[in-house]
Structure 1
Amino acid sequence: KEAEEAYDRIIGLDLSETAVDGSLHKSPCGGEGTGKNPTDRAKLGWKWSILTDKVGIPIGWAIDGANRNDVKMFAPTLDAAGEAGLLADIETLHLDRGYDSDGIRQSCKDHELDDVVIARKAKRRKKKAPALAAKSHTLGLRWPVERTNSWLSNFGQLRRNTDR
C-alpha cells in the first residue's frame, strides 16, 4: 500500500482506463486458499484477479482457489480498489468476454461504474464461416492487465507458492 501511495504521489496513477483480469497459478505445496485447477488435471493451484490502471499498475486484487470463477472474484477485486479509495476515480473499466454477464453489469452498477467496456461473446452461427474470414480478437485496452499478469507470473515465489 505504501509503494502504491508513493507511486501515485510521485508519478500519478492514471485511472482513466482500467482493466480487470484473472490468472491461474500452480501451488505444488498446497496450503490455505488453494483449490483444484480445472485446467491442470485438478492439481492444486490458486487464482488471482487483478485490477490495473492504464499503464498496468495494480490497484486492486483478490486471491482464491484455482477452482473459483473470474465472475465470483470480480466484486472482491473492485472492493479492494474501493478500500484504497481509488474506485470513485475510475473512468472506464475494460473486461474480457468471460465477464459478459448480467451479474457483472449489476456489480458495476453497485460499485457506481458507469462506463464499462465488455468484449461481447461471439454469437453462434449455424453456417460455418470460410477459413479466410477468421476474425482476430484484439486485446483493446486490456493489454496492460495481461502484461501485469504475465510479469507477476514470472516471480519465482509467486509462481511456486511454497508457503503453507
Structure 2
Amino acid sequence: MPALPSWLTDPLWDQFCELLPMRGEFVPDHPLGCHRRRIGDRIVFDKIVQVLVFGCGYRKVADVSCSATTIRGRRDEWITAGVFERLELIVLELSDLPVDGCHTKAPCGGEVAGPSPVDRRKGGMKRSTATDAGGIPARRGHRPWQPARLPLLAPTLKRLERLGPLPDGATVHLDAAYGTDKRARTAEEHGLRAEVAVKGVAAPIQNTRRWPVERTNAWGNQFFKIARCTERRAEVTDAYLSMAHAIITLRRLIRRSWSLYRWDTRPAKRP
C-alpha cells in the first residue's frame, strides 16, 4: 500500500527533484571505483516518504531495491545540500500569521527531546508552528520542552525572514500561554503586531484567525514520524518536519485548485 496517493507524490517529487544537486550515474569517490550504479533518487525519496508517514524504522522499509544504509546516507546528503529546507518555501496570505505550539513524543531522546509535562515526564518534543491565514505552514521551530512558550516564539518569527518582506501591519495571533508583555516586544522586534488571546474571554470570539494553526498542527501529527519522533539529531528532525509541511502545503493547493481547474491527473474526489 503506498504511503501517499500518486496525485500527491508525483508533483511533490517534481519539485523535490528540481532542488537536488546534479549527480552522475556512478559514485565518483567510491573506494572500489565505479563498480556499482548509484541507487535512483526517486526510489530513496519514496522510502523516506514511507518512513515519514508510517513512522517505521529504516530497516522496515528497506528491500532489494534500496538498503537502510543507503536511505540514511542519501537523507544526510540531501540535508547537507539544504533540499528539505528549501522545499517548504511556499506561503500565500501573510497579513495574518497564527502561531501555536504542540507536544509530541520523543522516546529515543536526542537533541530536541526533554521531559514532557503532558506525558508523565517521558521523552517529548515541543514544536512551534507559524502558518499563513489559510493554514499553509510558513515556519516552525522545535526544542526540548520548556515551561513557557515564549522561548520558541522568537526563533519561529525569525525564520519568517526567509519569506521576504511581510505586508505592512502583519499580525501574529497567539493564545494566552504566550504571555502578555514580552510577546509584544518579541513581535515588534521582527516588525509584526501581536494579538494574544486573553484568559476569561470566550474562545470562539478570539479564535477567528488563530484556528488554522491548530488544524495544521493536527495535520502534522498524522505523520507518525513526527507524532512519535525517534530521530536523535535536530537536523534530521528538521528535514522530516520540512517534508511534512511541504506535503500539507501541496495538498492544500491541490484542494483549492480542484474546484477551479481541470488537469489530466486531477483526483476523482476533492482531496
Task: Give the TM-score band, short-chain normalised.
Answer: 0.7 to 0.9
Matched residues, number: 145
Give the letter aligned to residue 69 of structure 1: A
Once the two structures are overlaid, the 10-residue window that deviates more, 93-102 or 150-159, is: 93-102
- From the two aligned structures, give the one with the greater helix fraction: 2
Question: Structure 1: which 5+ residue stretches go unaligned?
Answer: 123-134
Structure 1 counterpart of 2:128: 49
CA deviation map 1:57-113 (0-9, x unaligned): 111111101235211100000001113325x33722211111232111111111111
Q: What residue in structure 2 maps to residue 118 of structure 1?
A: 196
Residue 36, structure 1, aligned to residue 122, structure 2: no
Matches of 2:147 and 2:229 in 1, distance apart?
17
- SS of 2:140's equivalent in the other structure is strand
Confirm or deny: 8 A CA contact 1:25 1:66 kept in the other structure. Answer: no
The CA distance in 2 between the partners of 1:149 and 1:52, in whole Å, is 10
Pair 3,35 (structure 1): closer, same or farther in 2 beyond 3 Å: same
Going by fraction, where is strand more abundant, 1 or 2?
1
Task: Give the alignment partner of residue 101 of structure 2, picking from 5, 10, 22.
Answer: 22
User: What corresponds to 1:154 in structure 2?
Assistant: 222
Greater gyration radius: 2
Amino acid in structure 2 at the alignment position of 1:39:
V
CA contact (8 A) 2:150 2:178 kept: yes
1:99-118 matches, cutoff 5 A = 99-114=178-193, 116-118=194-196
Please say if 1:65 is aligned against 2:133: no
> How do residues 66-105 of structure 1 correspond to structure 2 at under 5 angstroms?
66-67=145-146, 69-85=148-164, 88-89=166-167, 91-105=170-184
Unaligned runs of 5+ in 2: 1-84, 233-271
| Contact map agreement 1:19 1:145 (CA 8 A) in 2 | yes
* SS, match of residue 78 in structure 1: helix
4+ runs deviating over 3 angstroms: 1-5
Could you tell me the TM-score, scaled by structure 2's length?
A: 0.50
Higher RCO structure (Cα 8 Å, ≥6 apart): 1
Shift, 1:121, TM fit: 2.4
What is the RMSD of the two structures over their aligned residues, measured on CA atoms?
Answer: 1.8
| Structure 1 partner of 2:88 | 4
Quote the sequence identity (%): 37
What letter corresponds to residue 42 of structure 1 in structure 2? R
Using the size of structure 1 for normalisation, the TM-score is: 0.80
